[in-house]
Structure formats: structure tokens, C-alpha cells
Amino acid sequence: MIDMKIRNTDFCFSKTTYVMGILNVTPDSFSDGGLHNSTDKAIEHALKMAEDGATIIDIGGESTRPGYEAVAADEEIRRVVPVIEGLRKISDIPVSIDTTKGAVAAAALDAGADIVNTVAGVDIDEDMLTLVRDRSCPIVITYEKNYVNQFGEALIAMAERLINAGISEDKIIVDPGIGFGKTQEENLRIINELPIITQIGYPVLLGTSRKSVIGNVLNVSTDRRLPGTIATTVLAALAGVAIVRVHDVSENVLAIRMVEAVSGVEDGSYQH
């Protein structure tokens, strides 16, 4: 069963967990700021992530790390549009634009992006809602507030705002927002509750890659958080999460493949 078609890729979220590769074309992202902030380097890295098994490339031109410095929409557009245009000339991989600004999202979609990924969440503005409705594109919407009891219901309410604005229900992907407005305990609670959260009726995206929730548990620096990231990816795959958003694509793809092999033996679907 196809759950969503994005560009020329059929996504069967009920069957597998997909990997979204993070491409920050910023000087100040918490983990990889400055590494890919030239067009050629960014495109090269995107192609490498696709080769490693990423099914979506998520491109952002403004950091959302704690204490980040906001940039103007025109600067954000200057950073992301050439990368999207260049990638689109040589690859058909679905691309998402990670932004809170409607003008940036519009420019990215015009350049060839397919998905809007916004951390605005509950506070999403009307311009963004109108854009997504009119373009009929998929949207990943992040719950950027603190954890509440019956957290799944809070995600549903967030999604219903989009539906009330005219956005098709089958275009919505929800992100519980690990690291956004939440305490360490709340972040861990959400990861623990993934088997419940994935039952809300919308595909769920999980973004934990190299985040402080992992660093705080393991007491390690950003560059040593891959094992913790893989652990959360395994938990996500077991819980039925649709997409994991990661920096280290190859390692997380292999982890998901192993989870699915073990699960496939039980239900008879494993194929070597």
C-alpha cells in the first residue's frame, strides 16, 4: 500500500522506516555548521547521503539550535535555492525545505523542493498554511511546545489545525519535536511513548540525531553521539515511526535494515 507519493517515490510508511538526510547549509548549526555551506559541497553531500540510502534530503538555511541567530528570509533563500536547483538537475530524490518562513518555503518549492518541514508547529503562521494548501505539498510539522499528558492528542490537534486550513489530511507528517521546548525527562518520555504516538493516524517523523537528549544521557560531545542516535533509530523502527531525520545516513539505514530483518522473520516477510 502506498501511503504517500512524493515526486516519483512511493512511500509505504506502514511497511518501513525511511531515512531523511540532514543537509544544513548554515555556518552555525549545532553539529555540522559550516561543513556544507557552499553549493558544490552541499550537493556533493546530498548525493552521498542518497547513495548511502537516504530517501529524502532535508535542506535548511537557518539553524534551529538553542540560542541560534535568526537570519532574514532573503539570506536563507540565497543559501538554499542554489543547492536545490543544482541537486534537482542531477537527482530526482525528494527534497524537503526546513524553514519557518513562508517566503523561503515558496522559493524552495519553486526551485524544486517537494516538502515543507517546519518547526513552527502550533505557532505556524497563516502565510505558511496558505502556501502548503495552495501548493498541495506534503508538510512535516513539529510540535515545538513542552510535553503534555495524552501527547498523541496534542499532535492530532496540531494536525487538525492544518486540516481546518484546507490542507489535505494525507499530506501531513507530524514530528513530536525532540529538543524543542522540552526538558530532558520530557524528551525521553516521548521516545518511550513512540509505540503509542505512532497510532495517532498520521506518519510520524523522529529527529534525535546528535541532539542534547543523547549527550545528556551518555555524557558525550556532539561528535560521539552516533551510538545513541542509532539506539533511538532502532526504537523508532520498532515503534513504527515513518521517518527518522539523521546526519549519519549509512549507519542508521543499516540499523533499520537489521531491525526489519529480525521483524520479518516473525511475520514471514524477510527476504535475503
User: Which one is catalytic: 79, 171, 182, 245?
Assistant: 245
Rg, Å, the chain Cα set? 17
Contact 241, 198 (CB under 8 A): yes
Please, are residues 243 and 205 in contact by the beta-carbon 8 Å criterion?
A: yes
Give the span between the Cα atoms of 26 and 124, in whole angstroms. 22
Q: Which of 41, 57, 60, 77 is nearest to 7 (CA)?
A: 57
DSSP character string of 108-169: HHHHT--EEEES-GGG--HHHHHHHHHHT--EEEE--S---SSHHHHHHHHHHHHHHTT--G
Q: Are 239 and 194 in contact (CB under 8 A)?
A: yes
Backbone angles phi, psi at 4, to 5 degrees: -160, 135
Backbone angles phi, psi at 7, to 5 degrees: 55, -120
Q: List the one residue out of 80, 86, 14, 91 whose CA is nearest residue 50.
A: 91
- Cβ(209)–Cβ(179) below 8 Å: no
Query: Does 211 participate in catalysis according to the annotation?
Result: yes
Report which of 164, 144, 143 is spatially closest to residue 155, judged by C-alpha positions: 143
Active-site pick, 211, 224, 225, 257:
211
Place of cell 522540552: 182
Helix, coil or strand: residue 79: helix
Sequence letter at residue 2: I
Q: Which residues are catalytic?
A: 211, 245
